[in-house]
Every structure is written in C-alpha cells, then in structure tokens.
Amino acid sequence: MKHSLSVLGAAAALTLALAGCGSSSTPASDGAAGESAAPSSLQEIQDSGVLTVGTEGTYRPFSFHEGGSGALTGYDVEVITAVAEKMGVEAEFEETQWDAIFAGLEAGRFDVIANQVSITDERKESYDFSEPYTVSSGVIVTTADNDDISSFEDLDGKTTAQSLTSNWNDLAKESGANVEPVEGWAQSVTLLEQGRVDATINDELTYLDYQKNNSNENIKIAATTEENSQSAVAVRKGSTELVDAIDTALEELRADGTLAEISQKYFGSDVSE
C-alpha cells in the first residue's frame, strides 16, 4: 500500500538517493565558490570524442571498484557509458569525493555528474538536468510473516530501527513510531530478524540492492511512499544542447531495453522509470 506523505515526509522522499550515498549526507552547499566555468559545449565534446564524467567511485552499487581495486563499474557508470556510446563519444571518469563533486562540475573539471544526483528545486536553480534514469521511493520493511503493518499509519506505536541522522528517522517519528537507533541498514535487518523491532524505513534502492546480493526471504516490503526521488545526469547551467543529446540517448536506451537490463543486473528490478 502506498502512503501520501506530509510536507516532512515529502522532503524526505525527495532526497532518497542521497540518503544512501557513501558520504551519507548532502553537502551544505552544492556549488563551488567563485565563478562557474562556461556551459559544456556539445560540439567540443563531439570534436574531442570524450564525455568527462564526475563520479565517486566508492558508492556501491552505483559507482565503485569491484573488490576495491578492480575496474570502475556500477549502475551509474554503465548508464552514462551507454549514453556516451549513443552520443558517439567515450566516457572518461574523474573520481571525486561527494563533498567536492559539484565544485568540480562548476570548475569545469568534468562535463557532467553521474552519481545518483537527486533532482530538487534548489539544485535546478544552479544546474541543468537530464531526464531521470533512476526513480525510487521510500519503503517500510518488515519480517515476511508480519501482517500487522501494511501502511505508514500502522507504524503508530510500533518500533522501527533507524539511523538518527537520516530522513527516514524523521518519517518514522512522523508516523508515530518509537525509534530504535542503529548505525545503518545491516543493523536494522539484524534487529528486525531478531524480533527486537517491528520494521525499518529506508530507500527502496537499498532494499533491492540488499536482496539482489542476499535473497533474504525473511523480510519484505510492507508499504511504499507515493512520492519518489528522481536521479539524473547533472550539467552546468546553460548546457542545453548537451542535455538534449543526453536525453535523446536515454530515450533510445529506454526504448531498446538497455536501461532495464542494467537495472536488472544491479537491482533485480527496473529502477529506471
């Protein structure tokens, strides 16, 4: 069952992708200090044959090194690589810590960011975005045999496991739950299976990634938010032709099933729309 969130819940939903980010929080300011570089030129990218991409490289399953030292891979890496191929160029990656990634974009270190950047009204004031290639909601996760929780209203008086610094903690409290503090998703699942909590709220992508790698039949999604988070390729403001080219590539990749295929590989589900 889906649940319509209040203003607080909606704000949490809008930052789903970043709530699970390897750096764990959104930087205080996305922009770089000083003057921004000129918009990315599609013609210059085509002439050089290279689309330079800012990404973390430490954010599994979106952008990471297999085994810690293998080749850069991940959902976002494969998506933007496929986009570049459709554009007739090669993707080259500049690995950058999350806290500096927007500054790097504005300084012209790379043409785009592909790192689960959520589209928000605040960000749209400073950056342009492609069409989204990831869509995710918030979910309540319970044990598989729990029939008492099927909506956010059912959390009233129940106990949920939440990180105290996450947006999901706010949503749990708003729903009337008693919160058991945890350090992260893994601990939440442990407490849930031990029967020490009734549920946990988290990003659907976190759940899908976990199930893809663990196939845990002891837990399930009991409810989903109506609001969702949309992540897209971020570019410098005014890079209109580049955005149009990326959107065309994404449309072709969606139509030929490539986005769904990449989604299935990493999440066991299509999270691209």
Q: How confident is the model at residue 158 (pLDDT cuts 50, 70, 90)?
A: very high
Task: Summarize the confidence of residues 1-12 as an average pLDDT.
Answer: 40
CA dist., res. 209 & res. 17, Å (int): 13
According to the model, what pLDDT value does residue 27 have?
37
CA 7 to chain centre: 20
Q: E strands of 66-184, at which residues?
A: 72-73, 90-95, 112-118, 127-129, 134-143, 159-162, 178-181
CA dist., res. 26 & res. 238, Å (int): 24
Task: Summarize the confidence of residues 253-270 as an average pLDDT.
Answer: 97
Is the pLDDT at 21 greater than 60, yes or no?
no
pTM metric for this prediction: 0.82
Q: How confident is the model at residue 35 (pLDDT cuts 50, 70, 90)?
A: low
108 φψ region: left (φ > 0), alpha (ψ -120 to 50), beta (else): left
252-262: burial string, b at 16+ Cβ within 10 Å, e else? ebbeeebbbeb
